């Protein structure tokens, strides 16, 4: 992508009412349409969507394929795609505006900063779809299902909030299962190493991102893990189901 093209996309998303951005990882401030400073923490449903409906995040959303698919599937819920790459968010945000998907928004920030922008219990559910598996052991703490990230999620998810991982990476799949077995932060609810080998566990799993379609063409199997977080913001254990 040319620098000019990328700069144009950055200018475009600055004019989009469904994109909220954080420019400085050391500063929790947010900007919205036309660069106006805004606040959203604890008020996403009311201020961004004008309702009090449940919120689902898609982390490392890229172009927002899953965010858009979920929003079409569940118009009674709110969906926020989160990614640091503005040029990627530009695509999904533009499609949402073209389709008048008023239950879709995008947040441009680093995922490790996520707790700065959501109140405790403000998020009902998290989807992580085909993230970078960071295969080198030295980068294991950058995997989005590492304990460090689970702690961030626990600060914003409601009590026993659900996290979904969909991946083609056997390494990330196994890492996630090992992490869940070794920590008291979360409880495994379901896992499958080849989701299309039988009837789908959830209708949402039928949604396919650009990368998933590519992986399937290459003959890769798609894996899925669902778990709930057992810790609240103050560190107290949630009640078991």
User: Structure pTM?
Assistant: 0.92
| Residue 166: CATH number of its domain | 3.40.50.150
More confident residue, 186 or 8: 186
pLDDT in tens, 170-210: 999 999 999 999 999 999 999 999 999 999 999 999 999 98
In a domain, residue 234? The reply is no
The set of catalytic residues is 132
Beta bridge partners of 108: 21, 83
In a domain, residue 238? The reply is no
In a domain, residue 56? The reply is yes
In a domain, residue 241? The reply is no
Tell me which residue range forms the domain holding 58: 3-229
In a domain, residue 239? The reply is no
Element (H, E) at 214: helix 210-217
Between 65-73 and 86-98, two packed helices, what is the crossing angle to 10 degrees? 30
CA atoms within 13 A on the CB side of 100: 0
CA atoms within 13 A on the CB side of 192: 16
Helices marked H in 64-194: 65-73, 86-98, 147-154, 170-182
CA 70 to chain centre: 12
How many domains are contained in the chain?
Answer: 1
Distance CA 169, CA 143 (A): 12
**Residue positions counted in the chain:** 241
In a domain, residue 240? The reply is no
- CB contact at 8 A, 81 and 89: yes
pLDDT in tens, 99-119: 999 999 999 999 999 999 999
In a domain, residue 151? The reply is yes
């Amino acid at each position: 992508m040319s620098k000019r093209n990328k700069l144009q996309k950055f200018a475009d998303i600055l004019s989009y009412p469904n994109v909220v951005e954080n420019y400085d990882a050391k500063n929790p401030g947010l900007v919205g349409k036309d660069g106006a400073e805004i606040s959203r923490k604890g008020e996403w449903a009311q201020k961004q969507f004008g309702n009090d409906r449940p919120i689902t995040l898609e982390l490392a959303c890229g172009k927002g394929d899953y965010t858009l698919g979920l929003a079409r599937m569940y118009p009674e819920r709110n969906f926020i795609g989160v990614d640091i790459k503005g040029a990627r968010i530009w695509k999904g945000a533009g499609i949402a505006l073209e389709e008048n998907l008023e239950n879709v928004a995008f947040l441009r920030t680093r995922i490790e900063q996520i707790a700065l922008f959501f109140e405790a219990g403000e998020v009902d559910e998290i989807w992580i779809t085909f993230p970078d598996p960071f295969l080198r052991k030295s980068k294991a703490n950058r995997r989005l299902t590492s304990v460090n990230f689970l702690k961030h999620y626990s600060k914003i998810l409601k009590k026993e909030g659900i996290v979904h991982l969909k991946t083609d990476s056997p390494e990330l799949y196994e890492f996630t299962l090992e992490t869940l077995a070794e920590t008291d932060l979360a409880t495994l609810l379901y896992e499958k190493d080849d989701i299309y080998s039988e009837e789908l566990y959830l209708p949402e799993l039928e949604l396919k991102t650009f990368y998933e379609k590519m992986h399937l063409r290459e003959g890769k199997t798609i894996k899925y893990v669902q778990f709930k977080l057992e810790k609240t913001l103050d560190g107290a254990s949630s009640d078991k189901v």
